[in-house]
Amino acid sequence: MSDCAASEPVRLAERLNHVETSAIRELFKLLGKPGIISFAGGFPDAALFDVDGIREATLAALDSQAGAALQYGATEGLDALREQLAAFMAGKGARDVTATDLIVTTGSQQALDLIGKALISPGDKVIVEAPTFLATIQCFKLYGAELITVPVDDQGADVEALERLIAQHRPKFVYLIPTFGNPSGAQMSLERRRRVLELAVRTRTLVVEDDPYGDLYFDVPPPPSLLALSHEVPGGRACLVHCGSLSKVLSPGLRIGWMVAPPLLLAKATMCKQFSDAHTSTFAQATAAQYLASGRMPATLQRVRGIYAQRAAAMVQALQQTLGAAIDFVPPRGGLFVWARLTGAGGGPTDAVALAQRAIAHGVAFVPGAPFFARDPDVATLRLSFATVDEERIREGVRRLAAALHG
């Protein structure tokens, strides 16, 4: 077909000039190499999926409501699922959220897309964390956003810096992953969460809270989400969008996310969704609704948390023992990732992009951190996922990483 490509009468939209196929996507093509240990993934372990529970749920959906599960549905989502999702969030402290305060989205990626479509005009400014989720950067850039970055430390986004940036840039909105963010793994402190909400109300700034990882804590639960806290801050809810997902806790393949937003924005996002994909698969929605109704979720969460906690501990210990001062990181308290920085101690490398290539030659893969920065990339950073690798392989992978570091 290559001769055809040259002759396509295709004139692309101007917005495509803002994005490129991701560097990570190119890296992933190398992962097919046999025997490689991959810390590069951003996905949960398929071996932990509750296949039996999902099978029962889909059979229940087809038996009790085949029409609804297979027919077109409302753009907002199936009522049964919206009610289950409201109840799921209520169980995590967001007690004043009702089914009509949310819409179902095709994964939380679509929530980001709808936020972009409904809010971003070319040239608009949006504040994101440095680092932040790569697909968020690309998604918002595709709508023409100019991204401004706020630094993140182990307590989450720096709220004082955020206040200055809001005053300086008057962004359309601020996008945060306050809990075990991808890639930072950071957990924003309760105090900073309160300050973010107060800042949003005071400066009349919309804040988008992306929360796909909050359920994956290892030991103690994280502080309440901005959504759960918002009832403590008068006016907070009107300034807040909250994106949730079943992808990390149940199954990404269902593509079930959701979005809580104030009424005007929710209506406009729904209209945008109507012309994006009409609605999320009712087949997947009905299955997810039956699963949540079945009562299996708490046990599923407990099991998944336990296993990821063990793997995280194994990775943290192996990194500390094997790499020592060559890398610096804060042990994660949840999520799927260790976010680390090459220190250069002892004359070791400080370029994670170069190290990633060398690591693959040594049989281990990770993702360099630079692409996660919307601007001013820190090339010494890297993201290591422990989610899909068992403890023995984690230790072996870290040994290979050490060999790459020293080779």
Could you tell me the smallest distance in angstroms from the CB atom of residue 1 to a second copy? Answer: 5
Closer Cβ to a second copy, 54 or 319, answer by number: 54
Could you tell me the smallest distance in angstroms from the CB atom of residue 219 to a second copy? Answer: 27
Closer Cβ to a second copy, 51 or 299, answer by number: 51
Please enumerate in sequence order all residues whose Cβ is within 8 A of that of 357, keeping only pairs 6 or more positions apart, or say none: none
Closer Cβ to a second copy, 284 or 384, answer by number: 284
Closer Cβ to a second copy, 277 or 378, answer by number: 277
Could you tell me the smallest distance in angstroms from the CB atom of residue 181 to a second copy? Answer: 18
Q: Would you say 401 and 366 are in contact if contact means Cβ atoms under 8 Å apart?
A: yes
Could you tell me the smallest distance in angstroms from the CB atom of residue 201 to a second copy? Answer: 9
* Structural tokens at position 381: 């950073």
Closer Cβ to a second copy, 216 or 326, answer by number: 216
* Structural tokens at position 118: 């409904």
Give the Cα separation of 113 and 133 in Å (integer).
13
Furthest C-alpha separation in the chain: 65
CA-closest candidate to residue 138, choices 396, 393, 382, 373 = 373
Could you tell me the smallest distance in angstroms from the CB atom of residue 307 to a second copy? Answer: 16
- How many CB atoms are closer than 10 A to CB 238? 16
3-state secondary structure of 244: strand
Could you tell me the smallest distance in angstroms from the CB atom of residue 138 to a second copy? Answer: 5
Closer Cβ to a second copy, 198 or 351, answer by number: 198
Could you tell me the smallest distance in angstroms from the CB atom of residue 246 to a second copy? Answer: 11
Could you tell me the smallest distance in angstroms from the CB atom of residue 277 to a second copy? Answer: 4
DSSP notation for 173-208: EEEE--BS-TTT--B--HHHHHHHHHHHHHHT-EEE
Q: Which long-range contacts (CB under 8 A, 24 or more apart) does 392-399 make?
A: 393/37, 394/311, 394/314, 394/315, 394/318, 395/314, 395/318, 396/37, 397/37, 397/39, 397/364, 398/315, 398/318, 398/319, 398/322, 398/323, 398/364, 399/318, 399/322
Q: Would you say 180 and 215 are in contact if contact means Cβ atoms under 8 Å apart?
A: no
How wide is the angle at C-alpha 295 spanned by C-alphas 43 and 106, nearest 5°? 40
Closer Cβ to a second copy, 275 or 298, answer by number: 275
Closer Cβ to a second copy, 189 or 294, answer by number: 294
The length of the chain in residues reads 407
Closer Cβ to a second copy, 42 or 131, answer by number: 42
* Structural tokens at position 88: 């799921």
Could you tell me the smallest distance in angstroms from the CB atom of residue 119 to a second copy? Answer: 5
The answer to whether the Cα torsion of 368, 305, 318, 31 is positive or negative is negative
